Structure 1
Amino acid sequence: PISIAPAIGAGILPDPQLDPMSGARSARSIPSAGMDTSDLLRGGDTLIIRLTGVPSQDQGIFEVKIDESGNISMPHIGSLTAANSTTVELKKLIETTYLKEEIFTNPNVTVDLKEQRFVDVTGEVRVPQRVPYTKDLTALGAVAACGGFTDFANRRRVRLTQGGVTQEFNAKEIQVDQGKDIRLRPNDKIQVDRSIF
């Protein structure tokens, strides 16, 4: 499949290169150390891809789900690697591939996420729920979106699971020094247990 790697700053070089090991095309890029990985597409994301600037029979809006391997399929070009790229990078890859393969001369592609991403907050909060993810969402911000802690919440040992790794944080300390608040990522889980006292 054709793949794309994260690219910020200098961006993707315009010419996809052939990987000598796999034979697949890849868009070479210059990665950025300060990249926000919450913006990257991942397996399971559903995308809305609009294709215009092509003959009318090929124009369309495609609902595409990124599979477990991180790939999507597009008309005439087949499999592309979408995971670990941004929507802008994927747009550029699709357009470049149509041009390089001489399928279309002026393709215009837009890529949007169909579904919102969420953070799950459960346990001793007033309204346990899925909180819509935003780039500036923090642990205490997510708890506040759930109406705050209940009177029985153990605020000293709140569990946060990010990327399959669970850690505990002291919400009382963060309430005193908000600079210690934890920035959340899509699909994080916060569990507030009941205090034993």
Structure 2
Amino acid sequence: MTTTPANPPQAASVWQRVRRGLASSLMALSAIAMAGFFSACEGPEPYTEIPADVMSARPTGTLSAGDVIQVSYPGAPELNTTQRIQANGRVSLPKVGDVSASGKSVASLQSQLSGMYTSHLQNPTVLVAVETAAAGVYISGEVNKPGKIPLDRPMTAFEAVMEAGGFSKFANRKQVVVVRNQGGKHQRYALNLDDTLSGANHNAFYLRPYDTVYVKQSRW
């Protein structure tokens, strides 16, 4: 009786497929292991420790060059004017000429102008309002409306994110970075705004003109 031998080419083909499958699996495992290795080797990002004076509120709202202000005269509305504060910090107003505005609060400028118009108007009341603030902060990363936000009032990092439309669905609220230029060097402060939302952290981080707030993307 003659036994029919197995088909050698077919057996070899099966073995080659098994070998290719094993090789692919080993390469995948190797890639995962290497990714884990490099991830473990990465050191902590160079964030700056946040001292109390950096995050505390400071008097803001002072006028600066580039701000556009509205000056209104209730007793003489024909004098109403909109002015951009010039590079030298001054504005040119009817009847009184050039007036220094940069570095002053809205209230102090109003008081000064009312005094200056006492001899010019029967009702010397003057009202000043900021139409467009030149100083601002920049919001980027995982927010719904990234861009520049006018800093026309004391503003926290959390408020700035809300002004930018809030967190996107991919945002990592625990990883919000504020980049600030201090003394010609960039300082990076890491904030956990998830704690702000949950109430676990009651400390507010107040922004300074031209800060950049970057919301990182969640890895999960």
TM-score of the superposed pair, with normalisation by structure 2? 0.56
Please state how far the C-alpha of 1:70 moved relative to its aligned partner.
0.9
Runs (4+) of structure 1 exceeding 6 A deviation are 162-165
Label 1:193 to 1:50 Cα distance change in 2 as closer, same or farther (>3 A): same
Please state how far the C-alpha of 1:148 moved relative to its aligned partner.
1.7
Cα offsets for 1:104-130 (capped at 9, x unmatched): 453221111112675321123344234
Label 1:95 to 1:147 Cα distance change in 2 as closer, same or farther (>3 A): closer
1:171 correspondence with 2:209:
no
1:113 correspondence with 2:130:
yes
Partner residue of 1:143 out of 153, 161, 184: 161
User: Which amino acid in structure 2 is aligned with residue 67 of structure 1?
Assistant: Q
Cα offsets for 1:148-170 (capped at 9, x unmatched): 26647595461333677643222
Label 1:165 to 1:50 Cα distance change in 2 as closer, same or farther (>3 A): farther
Give yes or no for contact 2:62–2:103 (8 Å, CA) kept in 1.
yes
The CA distance in 1 between the partners of 2:102 and 2:122, in whole Å, is 26
Give yes or no for contact 1:143–1:149 (8 Å, CA) kept in 2.
no
Partner residue of 1:42 out of 64, 67, 81: 64
Give yes or no for contact 1:38–1:186 (8 Å, CA) kept in 2.
no
Give yes or no for contact 1:118–1:132 (8 Å, CA) kept in 2.
yes
SS in 2 for 1:93: helix
1:88 correspondence with 2:107:
yes
Label 1:74 to 1:149 Cα distance change in 2 as closer, same or farther (>3 A): same
Give 1:66's aligned residue: 85
Give 2:46's aligned residue: none
User: Which amino acid in structure 2 is aligned with residue 159 of structure 1?
Assistant: V
Give 2:142's aligned residue: 124
Please state how far the C-alpha of 1:63 moved relative to its aligned partner.
0.7
Give yes or no for contact 1:153–1:195 (8 Å, CA) kept in 2.
yes
Structure 2 alignment gaps of length 5 or more? 1-55
User: Which amino acid in structure 1 is aligned with residue 157 of structure 2?
Assistant: A
Label 1:136 to 1:94 Cα distance change in 2 as closer, same or farther (>3 A): closer
Q: Would you say how many aligned residue pairs link Structure 1 and Structure 2?
A: 159
**Structure-to-structure mapping, 1:157-196, within 5 angstroms:** 158-161=177-180, 166-172=186-192, 175=195, 177-185=200-208, 187-192=210-215
Q: Structure 1 or 2: larger helix share?
A: 2
Give 1:27's aligned residue: none
SS in 2 for 1:121: strand
SS in 2 for 1:72: strand
TM-score of the superposed pair, with normalisation by structure 1? 0.61
Cα offsets for 1:68-102 (capped at 9, x unmatched): 11111112221111011111211121121233xx3
Give yes or no for contact 1:46–1:115 (8 Å, CA) kept in 2.
yes
User: Which amino acid in structure 1 is aligned with residue 116 of structure 2?
Assistant: T
